[in-house]
Amino acid sequence: MRYNTLGLAGLAALAAASDVHDLTNESFEPFVNDHGLVLAEFFAPWCGHCKALAPEYEEAATELKAKDIALAKIDCTAEQELCQSFGVEGYPTLKVFRGPENIQPYSGPRKAQAIVSYMTKQSLPSVSLLQSSDALEEFKTADKVVLVGYFSKDDKTSNATFEELADELRDSFLFGATDDAALAKAEGVTQPAVVLYKTFDEGKNTFEEGFTKDKLAEFAKTASTPLIGEVGPETYAGYMAAGIPLAYIFAETQEERDSLAKTLRPVAEKVKGKLNFATIDAKAFGQHAGNLNLEVGTWPAFAIQDTQKNQKFPFTSQGSASDLTEKKIGKFVDDFVSGAVEPSVKSEPIPEKQEGPVTVVVAKNYQDVVIDNDKDVLLEFYAPWCGHCKALAPKYDELAGMFKSHSDKVTIAKVDATLNDVPDEIQGFPTIKLFKAGSKDAPVDYSGSRTVEDLAAFIRDNGSFKIDVTGASTESAEGVETDHMPKQAPAATEKASSVASDASSGAAGAVKSKISEAAQVVKGAMLEDEDVEDHDEL
């Protein structure tokens, strides 16, 4: 009993010392009115991912307190009306408030320093004016990456372009500017110029030609990416959004990752801007290798992912550092860039016979069943472990039965996205898309309630043939109601999974051996629901 009493006392002391403000329906609006900038977490006490976020959130709150940025939390099991008023559907949900009416979703990773960095950016103007050398030196180290514009006062075009870019990318970078020609000279640049300062690689990069917003954005994206970075919760989403393929270097120890990064640095330098390189901890995130069609457990390993087309290009030799030499990987990368490497496609066998009312799609028949035809195809991307998918199954079968007499015009189909490589961007399960006849390149995402009636209406309203079967519903299938469940977890290989901390990203296979406690915390910060099996999702 003495041990438990001390433990409870410690928790009570921690709660009392918290810099995170607990808000209720009554205190919420006065609080956001009194604080210029607030990050609010909408949570549920039973949510495992909220529990994993808690220490990160506390740490960020303490650090941001000195900057007069408030962090708050709302228990949605006690304050249901308040949470519903802000459209909270899953836990945790984080939103940035500048007063009760100016609200934006928090889009950063869920790690303490990432929260601090993101909210610091939100607290500053889109472009900070730097009027002295001291201000410039302090600003250079304000974040891992900052951009400083050196423009004369009368160069209105360059100033306007820079400010426009800053407004668009303020969530990603800190922007500063100075019109002091002496400061520009001291930095070795001639106005107009933009210098990206960073805490890695060569330390800074300079942009001095072609001042268009698009060129500046491309410069910022390329220069801010480490030559060989590290895939993790705080970086994964950025790599997925970079718009160029990602080369993974899997290794179990930091020492081996550093050694391989040094070995492959010349290869990465040769293709910088065409291909990103990053190491990845095989102990913490080894299951992700399976999503790239590598053999899980055989390290080190190398693979390239085309993040735009969701294609995977595993390097076939793995298991020894001697397999990953500059010469061997250099040739593989050159062949990839030239288009000489064929993507690896993971697929279940094509069913010899379609059993049941729902058409089963696999990677090998995806093109035929979904794309190369004149039908409206409603396709569910699911995972076998997904509780929401299991609950939807009887309703989806019923839906397929309703459209059976219209099978020449409408196909109701499903694909196991954990066992089949699909070209579509899947962020969670179940994901449902309608591939409309005549518009297969622009599928329509389904975001309504998971009821037979609403799904049928969705096909009627968005399909090419406008078939209405809502009056033909058979007896309702029994099953768990899923309409108001919190959002499902992000898939591992898609934008994540989502990192990501956090971030976010086919889905990763179930972790079959216990990974480190740190990896579990990372995973918890990334997932948004807890009725799935354990995964080392990025």
DSSP 204-250: EEEE-S---HHHHHHHHHHHTS-TEEE-STTTHHHHHTSSS-EEEEE
Angle at 377 between CA 373 and CA 383, to 5 degrees: 125
Query: Which one of 386, 426, 455, 492 is the catalytic residue?
Result: 386
Q: Which strands make up the sheet holding 70-75, listed edge to edge?
A: 20-22, 70-75, 38-43, 93-97, 103-105
Say whether 83 is catalytic: no
Q: Fill in the DSSP letter of residue 24.
A: -
Rg (CA), the chain: 25
Structure tokens at 357: 């009312």
Angle between helices 326-338 and 254-270 (to 10 degrees): 50
Angle at 227 between CA 222 and CA 230, to 5 degrees: 105
- Given a contact cutoff of 8 angstroms between Cβ atoms, the answer to whether 498 and 538 are in contact is yes
Between CA 433 and CA 496 the distance in angstroms is 19
Between CA 419 and CA 363 the distance in angstroms is 9
Q: List phi, psi (to 5°) of 56.
A: -65, -40
Between CA 341 and CA 245 the distance in angstroms is 13
- Nearest-CA neighbor of 44 among 104, 90, 111, 105? 90
Q: List phi, psi (to 5°) of 352.
A: -65, -30
Say whether 50 is catalytic: yes
Query: Which one of 389, 499, 522, 532 is the catalytic residue?
Result: 389
- Nearest-CA neighbor of 420 among 374, 341, 375, 360? 360
Query: Which one of 47, 53, 96, 282 is the catalytic residue?
Result: 47
SS3 string of 197-210?
A: EECCCCCEEEECCC
Say whether 47 is catalytic: yes
Structure tokens at 228: 């060989």
51 half-sphere exposure, CB direction, 13 A CA radius: 7
Between CA 487 and CA 489 the distance in angstroms is 7
Query: Which one of 50, 88, 194, 456 is the catalytic residue?
Result: 50
Ranges of H-type helices in 351-500: 366, 387-402, 452-462
Say whether 76 is catalytic: no
Catalytic residues: 47, 50, 386, 389
